Structure 1
Amino acid sequence: MSKSSSKSHFLVFPYPAQGHMLPLLDLTHEFHTRGVSITMLVTPKNLPKLNTLLAKHPSINTLILPFPNHPLIRAGIENVQDLTPAYFLPMMHAMSELYNPLLEWFKTHICPPTAIISDFLLGWTQGLAVELGIPRVVFSPSGTMTWSIVSTLWRDLPDIGNGDDQNVVFEFGNVPNSPSFPWWQLSQIYPQSEFLRKGMLANLVSWGMVFNSFDELEAVYLDHMRKHFGVERVLAVGPTRLIKGDDEAERGGSNSVAAGDITAWLNGCPDHLVVYVCFGSQAVLSNKQMEKLASGLELSGIRFIWCVKDPTMGYKKSEYGAIPAGFENRTNGKGQVIRGWAPQVLVSSHRAIGSLLTHCGWNSVLESLIAGVPMLAWPMWTDQYMNATLLVDHMGVAVRVCEGDEAIPNADELAWELAKSVSENNITRRAHAVELSKAALATAQKGGNSFKSLDILIEDLDHELVARKCRGMIDQ
């Protein structure tokens, strides 16, 4: 599709969390380069996150709506990165209060967007799209296997009793590979919330759904979403980072350590012998977890880079994120500790990285697979348990080392797994990761499945626009 061929105008509405915004911004870049007019909707404090995109594409419009009058705003919070998971549902409620301001903007705008592309946590935008008479496309930064499970929960409403038995196992026999999970792993994605239920079910009746995934990784789950839930248009358009080709050193934010210094240290390490330890942009380890992880790293004798996140709102600073005294001195030369944000794409793609100890957030999963790096899985909440099951049990590119945001790992066992992950004992998982890396690189190139799916999405929305004009639903 040529740059000037599309007639569509998309309102792109990301959910304000790093793991949700980055892949949708990547996709927006690709929409724009393929000729789609774009208006980005953000609240004031999230506007700086668009700086890189707007610098490359100054013709992209921005719609800045004030954050709703909600208790979160009185705390100065407009981004999930500043919160513990307990605040996620209040944030969703707060964002839904943008319905009327957004509806008013549409009705008074001279040339309003012809379609809405919004995050799956903004399910209420489906009702807005229906009222406006335009298509809404759901964007999921999470994997399709997770969506198959979540959609089953919300559609079928299984009886959970009083929820006292946290270890009762739920089996998903209609989902490919018949995954099963204890209730304590599902409770965070299936809270008793009518608001969330309506949003999730609204997603299933949207005009279409696009996933930051690729066919070679999740084809059976993409097909399941089409057939089992009757969603006509289900497309994998990822990994979106590959399609965009972002600056690896700057992606996601400023770094606490110069990217050049990290690269120089890694350049002095042998191939595949460094473990990268990173738990994403939200997870903060308790001091006890920090102690056991540090002990495991030290006992293993491996080379490592450990990214440590500072406590945010909801965490007691005295109880979280403390690096054990003397650890950095004792591991000097063997490891690097990075406080705050790290250039994860740059690190994970370096030849010296042999494995990633991860919380199994979907962005981290994709970045590791793109780099052909096997993983040590420590899922902590929500979709991360599903992602770990996909990686460990179905794709063979990871091994579980711990589970749960409050779990305390055994330092000796962790040390053993860390050492094994950069040894010849990990050769099979590395080979599987390399195979998926090749598939990910190919699918994002011209002629690849994800590349073609983007063309299909834009063309179908263009056809929808023409059809609506013919029916007299919008001005010519």
Structure 2
Amino acid sequence: MATTTTTSDPAAAPAPAPHVLLVPYPARGHMQPLLHLASRLAAAGLRLTVVATTSTLHLLSPLLAEHPSSVSPLTFPSFEHDTSGPTSVGVDLHALAALREPLGEWVRARARSGGEGGRVVAVLSDFFCGWTQPLAAEAGVPRLVFVPSGVLATAATHSLFRRMPRPPPAAAGREYAVEFPGLPGAPAFPWRQLSRMYRSYVEGHGGEHAEAIKNNFLWNLESSALVCNTSRALEGRYLDAQPLEDLAGKRVWAVWPVAPEFTADESAGEVIRWLDAFPDASVAYVSFGSMMALPPPHAASLAAALERSKTPFVWAASTATLPEGFEERAAAASASASAAGLVIRGWAPQTAVLRHRAVGCFVTHCGWNSVVEAAAAGVPMLAWPMAADQFFNARLVVDEARVGAPVSLGGFGHVPDAGELAGVLREVVGEAGGELRARAKELAARMAEAARGDGSSRRDLDGMVRELWDLGSRS
């Protein structure tokens, strides 16, 4: 990876490092991947300023400790909106947009002052920070959009706000299918599986922030390029079809993995020791992410299925409400050879669990971080999408990569039958899921290859870095 610019004149001073402004969206699932990418950019010699709120500043500590001379935080004391709680995307988008003017003035002041690390040459911001597009345009610098999810879901969501499809008046809205003819294979999705932000906008339930949400996505389509936390091993069908009409023909850099290479975590010791007692591929790992609690009826059906199928499990339940007595029965069964279970409250060492030989499947909501972590670990997924980008991700897992099986595609409105769920578990966990597991291992090998040496992810990252250095040399 290029980290400096060179000159044939040995007396000439090296070109100063390009200065890039990073603007994360302050939700952990969005912010952490961008901070991981920031570490890789700093290691490539770039100078970074990272915008933070008072409630997210602590998340920058590892990055600042690793790159103290090249990464600086930027906070605005007058900004008082607390972004750490479970507020809606619309509320946070509206509140964060209040930073546009003070942040724009900061960028203009840097341009006037000049000097080392002065002028910002580019803005790299989360795709929920579309308001930084006019800011970058006013400053005369390009904006790169950071996308913490997959390119299929990203292209489809932006396509919705660009094309504005609506169900016919006489259609049963939830069953109306929306086609995406600009994407390879022209996929179609039922209305109920589309982004709730978009459906609320069209149906007139978007509230006072509806226009801000629409403008956010349209601003993204005016950007210079998109930087996507995905891999050609998983989404080559869409990346190789560039330029994508649904992304206004913008270049997509596929740079997964942005996170550091996995290393054993001592805090995972208790879970790992528990898993060590089980045969290979015999345990189901269950998690629906840190931002969503599985509704009690859905949790009850899954709990009953685990007990009926006698599948050992690790359930990262966070704040989920589980059936009365379920945890106690699972703990009591741990001394026997069947139906043993471990319920984790709070943080779960997901990467370590997925990479343990005893884990045979992952029951997941198909959030993007969970999908790529399971794919990289070679673990089959039981897809149970609920909202957001999860139905698009489930299509990748089940229909395209064929490394998963559907549990339910009905979202919050459908509670799957416990007996049917138990049957799916029996088909995937253990020897019965051998074929599915073999494909998952093949995908993991391709993803590892993409991330190594001259792999596609490394080439895309290096290409993006070179473009930023070129911008710096022209400033």
- Who is 1:100 aligned against? 101
- Who is 2:224 aligned against? 207
- Who is 1:49 aligned against? 59
Alpha-carbon distance between aligned partners in 2 of 1:325 and 1:346, rounded to the nearest angstrom: 29
Measured against aligned partners, the alpha-carbon deviations of 1:284-324 in whole angstroms (never above 9, x if no partner) come to 122222222211111110111001122xxxxxxxxxx2222
Structure 2, unpaired ranges of 5+? 6-15, 202-209, 335-339
- Aligned pair partner of 1:117 in 102, 124, 128: 124
State the 4+ residue runs in structure 1 displaced beyond 6 angstroms.
Answer: none
- Who is 1:316 aligned against? none
Measured against aligned partners, the alpha-carbon deviations of 1:115-134 in whole angstroms (never above 9, x if no partner) come to 11101111111110000111
- Who is 1:465 aligned against? 472
Alpha-carbon distance between aligned partners in 2 of 1:418 and 1:67, rounded to the nearest angstrom: 52
* Identical-residue share of aligned pairs (%): 39
Bigger mean CA offset, 107-116 vs 204-213: 107-116
1:230, distance to aligned residue in structure 2 (A): 4.5
Alpha-carbon distance between aligned partners in 2 of 1:66 and 1:215, rounded to the nearest angstrom: 41
Alpha-carbon distance between aligned partners in 1 of 2:216 and 2:33, rounded to the nearest angstrom: 21
1:248, distance to aligned residue in structure 2 (A): 5.5
Residues 1:154 and 2:157 aligned together = no
- Who is 1:90 aligned against? 91
When normalised by structure 1's length, the TM-score is 0.87
- Aligned pair partner of 1:456 in 440, 446, 463: 463
1:283, distance to aligned residue in structure 2 (A): 0.9
- Aligned pair partner of 1:31 in 32, 41, 44: 41
- Three-state SS of the structure 1 residue aligned to 2:55 is helix
> CA 1:448–1:323 in structure 2 vs 1: closer, same or farther (change >3 Å)?
same
Bigger mean CA offset, 106-115 vs 346-355: 106-115
> CA 1:101–1:164 in structure 2 vs 1: closer, same or farther (change >3 Å)?
farther
> CA 1:107–1:247 in structure 2 vs 1: closer, same or farther (change >3 Å)?
farther
- Aligned pair partner of 1:176 in 170, 178, 184: 184
Measured against aligned partners, the alpha-carbon deviations of 1:154-174 in whole angstroms (never above 9, x if no partner) come to 211113356862211112233
Contact 1:275–1:353 at 8 Å: present in 2 too? yes
- Aligned pair partner of 2:149 in 128, 134, 142: 142
1:58, distance to aligned residue in structure 2 (A): 2.1
Residues 1:357 and 2:327 aligned together = no
- Who is 1:61 aligned against? 72
Alpha-carbon distance between aligned partners in 1 of 2:225 and 2:280, rounded to the nearest angstrom: 43
Measured against aligned partners, the alpha-carbon deviations of 1:340-394 in whole angstroms (never above 9, x if no partner) come to 1101111111111111000000000000000000100010101000000111111
> CA 1:442–1:66 in structure 2 vs 1: closer, same or farther (change >3 Å)?
farther
Amino acid at match of 2:220: N
- Aligned pair partner of 2:373 in 356, 367, 372: 367
- Who is 1:13 aligned against? 23
Aligned runs of 1:24-423 on 2, under 5 Å?
24-59=34-69, 60-66=71-77, 68=79, 73=81, 77-79=82-84, 82-83=85-86, 87-109=88-110, 110=113, 111-161=118-168, 165-190=173-198, 191-192=200-201, 193-228=210-245, 229-241=247-259, 244-245=260-261, 249=265, 258-310=267-319, 321-332=320-331, 333=334, 334-403=340-409, 404-423=411-430
Alpha-carbon distance between aligned partners in 2 of 1:348 and 1:441, rounded to the nearest angstrom: 15
Contact 2:165–2:178 at 8 Å: present in 1 too? no
Structure 1, unpaired ranges of 5+? 251-257, 311-320, 470-476
Contact 2:53–2:79 at 8 Å: present in 1 too? no
1:177, distance to aligned residue in structure 2 (A): 2.0
Amino acid at match of 1:452: R
When normalised by structure 2's length, the TM-score is 0.88
Alpha-carbon distance between aligned partners in 1 of 2:249 and 2:59, rounded to the nearest angstrom: 32
Alpha-carbon distance between aligned partners in 1 of 2:72 and 2:457, rounded to the nearest angstrom: 26
Q: How many residues align?
A: 439
Alpha-carbon distance between aligned partners in 2 of 1:67 and 1:432, rounded to the nearest angstrom: 52
Alpha-carbon distance between aligned partners in 2 of 1:234 and 1:345, rounded to the nearest angstrom: 26
- Three-state SS of the structure 1 residue aligned to 2:138 is helix
Alpha-carbon distance between aligned partners in 2 of 1:246 and 1:129, rounded to the nearest angstrom: 35
